[in-house]
Structure 1
Amino acid sequence: MAPLVRSVAALAITAALETTAFVSTPNPYRTARTTTAGARQAARPGLLRPSPQHRYERVERCRVPTIAAASAPVKAVADEDVATLPLEQTKRDDLRNLAIVAHVDHGKTTLVDAMLQQSSVFRDNEQMGIRVMDSNDQERERGITILAKVEGPKPQTRFVLKKALELGLQAVVVVNKIDRPSARPEYVVDKTFDLFCDLNANDEQSDFQIVYTSAIKGIAGNEPEEMEENMEPLFKAIMGMPKPLVKETAPLQALVANIDYDDFKGKLGVGRIHSGSLKKGQNVGLGRPGEDVKTGKVSELFVFDNLGRKAVEEAHAGDIVMVAGLAQIGIGDTILDPANPNPMVPIAVEEPTVRMTFGVNKSPLAGREGKFLTTRMIRDRLMKELDRNVALRVEETDSSDAYEVSGRGQLHLTVLIENMRREGFELLVGPPTVITKQVDGSTHEPFETVEVQVPDEYTGAVVDLLSRRKGEMLNMTPVETGGDAQMTNIEYLVPTRGMIGLRNSMLTATRGTAVMDTIFDSYRPYAGDIEARDKGSLVAHENGVATPFGIAGAQSRGVMMVSAKDEIYRDMIIGLHQRPGDLRVNICKAKALNNIRSATKSISESVTVPMEVNLDMAVEYIQADELVEVTPTKIRMTKNAQMAGKK
Structure 2
Amino acid sequence: MDFTHLYADFGGEVERVLNMCDGVLLVVDSVEGPKPQTRFVLDKALKLGMKVLVVVNKIDRPAARPDYVVDKVFDLMMDLGASDEQIDFTTVYASGLQGISGMTPTDMASDMKPLFDAVKACIDPPKVETTEGNQLQCLVSNIDYDQFKGKMGIARITNGSIKNGQPVALARPGKQKKTGRLTSLYVFDNLGKKEVDFASAGEIIMFSGLDDVEIGDTLITNEAGGANAAEPLPPIAVELPTVQMTIGVNKSPLAGREGKFLTSRMIRDRLFKELDRNVALKVEETDSADKYAVSGRGQLHLTVLIETMRREGFELEVGPPVVIYKTNEETGALEEPFESVEVRVPEEYSGSVIDLFNTRNGELQDMGLDDGGESMSVIKYLIPTRGMLGLRSEMLTATRGTAIIDAVFDSYRPKIAGEIQNRDKGSLLAFEDGTTTTFGLENAQDRGKLFVKPGVEVYKNMIVGIHQRPGDLAVNICKTKALTNMRSATKGITVGLVSPVELSLDSAVEYLASDELLEVTPSAFRMAKNPDLIKKGVKK
Pairwise same-fold verdict (TM > 0.5): yes
Contact conserved, 1:261 with 1:387, CA < 8 A, in 2?
no
Q: Does 1:504 align with 2:393?
A: yes
Instruction: Describe the shift of the 1:169–1:619 C-alpha distance in structure 2 as closer, same or farther (beyond 3 A).
Output: same
One-letter code aligned to 2:116: F
2:513 aligns to what SS in structure 1? coil
Report whether the alignment pairs 1:261 with 2:145. yes
Identify the residue that residue 317 of structure 1 maps to in structure 2: 201
Q: Which residue of 1 aligns with 2:339?
A: 448
- The answer to whether residue 156 in structure 2 is matched with residue 272 in structure 1 is yes
Tell whether the 8 Å contact from 1:247 to 1:276 is kept in structure 2 after alignment: no
Deviation at 1:540, TM superposition (A): 0.5
Residue matched to 2:103: 222
Looking at structure 1, the residues matched to 465 and 527 of structure 2 have their Cα atoms a distance apart, in angstroms, of: 10
Say if 1:399 and 1:473 are closer, same or farther in 2 by CA, change over 3 A.
Answer: same
Displacement of 1:390:
1.7
**AA of the residue aligned to 1:340:** A
| Residues 1:525 and 2:406 aligned together | no
Deviation at 1:266, TM superposition (A): 3.3
Could you give the per-residue CA deviations for residues 32-83 of structure 1, whole angstroms, max 9, x where no partner exists? xxxxxxxxxxxxxxxxxxxxxxxxxxxxxxxxxxxxxxxxxxxxxxxxxxxx
Q: CA deviation at 1:633?
A: 0.8
Partner deviation per Cα, 1:317-349 (whole Å, 9 max, x = no partner):
110112222344333332234423223233202
Instruction: In structure 1, give the amino acid aligned to 2:126.
Output: P
Q: Give the secondary-structure state (helix, strand or coil) at the position aligned to 1:295.
A: strand
Question: Superposition RMSD on alpha carbons, in Å?
Answer: 2.6
Question: Which residue is equivalent to 2:439?
Answer: 549
The 5 A counterparts of 1:156-235 are 156-235=37-116
AA of the residue aligned to 1:499: M
In structure 1, distance between residues paired with 2:34 and 2:483 = 61
Question: What is residue 14 of structure 2 aligned with on the other side?
Answer: none
Residue 469 (str. 1) matches residue 390 (str. 2): no
Deviations 1:585-621 (A, max 9, x none): 01111224669xx999964x62111111000000010
- Distance (Å, rounded) in 2 between the aligned partners of 1:435 and 1:186: 42
Deviation at 1:427, TM superposition (A): 0.9
The 1:308/1:463 distance shift into structure 2, 3 A limit, reads same
Correspondence for 1:284: 168
Matched, 1:332 2:222: no
1:568 aligns with 2:452: no
CA distance in 1, matches of 2:484, 2:273: 59
Residue 183 of structure 2 corresponds to 299
The 8 Å contact of residues 471 and 494 in structure 1, kept in 2 or not, is answered as yes
CA deviation digits over 1:484-537, x for unaligned, max 9? Answer: x23333222221111111122222222222222222222222112212311000
Q: Relative to 1, partners in 2 of residues 1:401 and 1:244: Cα closer, same or farther, differing over 3 Å?
A: closer
* Equivalence map 1:470-485=2 (5 Å): 470-481=361-372, 483=373, 485=374
- 170-179 vs 621-630, greater mean Cα deviation: 170-179
- Residue 7 of structure 1 and its aligned partner are, at CA, apart by 5.8
Amino acid at match of 1:609: S
Q: Note the alpha carbon deviations across 1:413-453, whole angstroms, 9 max, x for none.
A: 10011011111111111101111123344322222222222
Which is strand-richer, 1 or 2?
2
Query: Does 2:519 match 1:629?
Result: yes
Among 128, 146, 157, the alignment partner of 1:246 is: 128
Letter in 2 for 1:13: L
- Could you say what secondary structure the match of 2:54 adopts? strand
Contact preservation (8 Å) 1:6, 1:320: no
Report the Cα offset of residue 287 of structure 1.
3.0
C-alpha distance after superposition, 1:531-582 (max 9, x if no partner): 2311000000112221221111111111111112222221110100011110
The match for 2:290 among 401, 411, 435 is 401
Alpha carbons of structure 1 residues 290 and 590: separation in structure 2 relative to 1, 3 Å:
closer
The aligned counterpart of 2:26 is: 13
Question: What is the CA deviation profile of residues 110-152 of structure 1, one whole-angstrom value per residue up to 9, with x for unaligned ones?
Answer: xxxxxxxxxxxxxxxxxxxxxxxxxxxxxxxxxxxxxxxxxxx
CA deviation profile, 1:4-49 (whole Å, cap 9, x unmatched): x996212101112344355xxxxxxxxxxxxxxxxxxxxxxxxxxx
Counterparts in 2 of 1:531 and 1:502: CA distance versus 1, 3 Å = same
Q: Distance in 1 between matches of 2:359 and 2:62?
A: 36
Cα pair distance change 1:294/1:360, threshold 3 Å: closer
Q: Secondary structure at the match of 2:114?
A: helix
Task: Tell me the residue number matched to 2:8.
Answer: none
Q: Quick check: 1:21–1:453 contact (8 Å CA) kept in 2?
A: no
Residue pairs, 1:21-170, within 5 angstroms: 21=34, 156-170=37-51
Please tell me whether the aligned partners of residues 389 and 422 of structure 2 are also in contact (alpha carbons under 8 angstroms). Answer: no
CA contact (8 A) 1:358 1:428 kept: yes
1:371-390 correspondence runs (5 A): 371-390=260-279
In the aligned structure 2, how far is the partner of 1:315 from the partner of 1:161? 30
Q: What corresponds to 1:361 in structure 2?
A: 250
1:386–1:590 CA distance, 2 compared to 1 (3 A): same
Q: CA deviation at 1:220?
A: 2.1
In 2, Cα distance between the equivalents of 1:620 and 1:494? 16
2:375 partner amino acid: Q
Task: Decide whether the 8 Å contact of 1:285 with 1:341 is kept in 2.
Answer: no
1:621, 1:301 → 2: CA distance? 48
Q: State the shift of 1:290 in Å.
A: 5.2
TM-score (norm 2): 0.88
Aligned residue in 2 for 1:586: 476
Distance 2:400 2:31 in 1: 18
Answer whether contact 1:287 1:341 (CA < 8 A) is retained: no
What's the secondary structure of 2:314's corresponding residue?
coil
Alignment identity in percent? Answer: 58
Q: Following the alignment from structure 2 to structure 1, what is the Cα–Cα distance between the partners of residues 251 and 244?
A: 21
- The letter for the 1-side match of 2:185 is L
C-alpha distance in 2 between matches for 1:276 and 1:571? 64
Counterparts of 1:572 and 1:489, CA distance in 2: 40
CA spacing shift, 1:473–1:289, aligned 2, 3 Å: farther
CA contact (8 A) 2:335 2:414 kept: yes
Match of 2:508 in 1: 618
Give the letter aligned to residue 173 of structure 1.
Answer: V
Answer whether contact 2:462 2:529 (CA < 8 A) is retained. yes
Distance 1:397 1:226, change over 3 A: same
1:216 & 1:508 partners in 2: Cα distance? 33
Report if the CA contact (8 A) 1:559-1:576 is conserved: yes
- Structure 1 residues 261, 602: closer, same or farther in 2, change over 3 A? farther
Q: Residues 538, 235 of structure 1: CA spacing in aligned structure 2 closer, same or farther, 3 A cutoff?
A: same
Count of aligned positions = 507
Q: Give me the whole-angstrom Cα distance separating, in 1, the residues matched to 2:190 and 2:249.
A: 41
Q: Is the 8 A contact 1:17 1:185 kept in 2?
A: yes
CA distance 1:377–1:159, shift in 2 (3 Å): same
Which amino acid is the alignment partner of residue 67 of structure 2? Answer: E
* Mapped partners of 2:284, 2:368: distance in 1: 44
For 2:276 and 2:147, locate their aligned partners in 1 and report how far apart those are by CA, in whole Å.
11
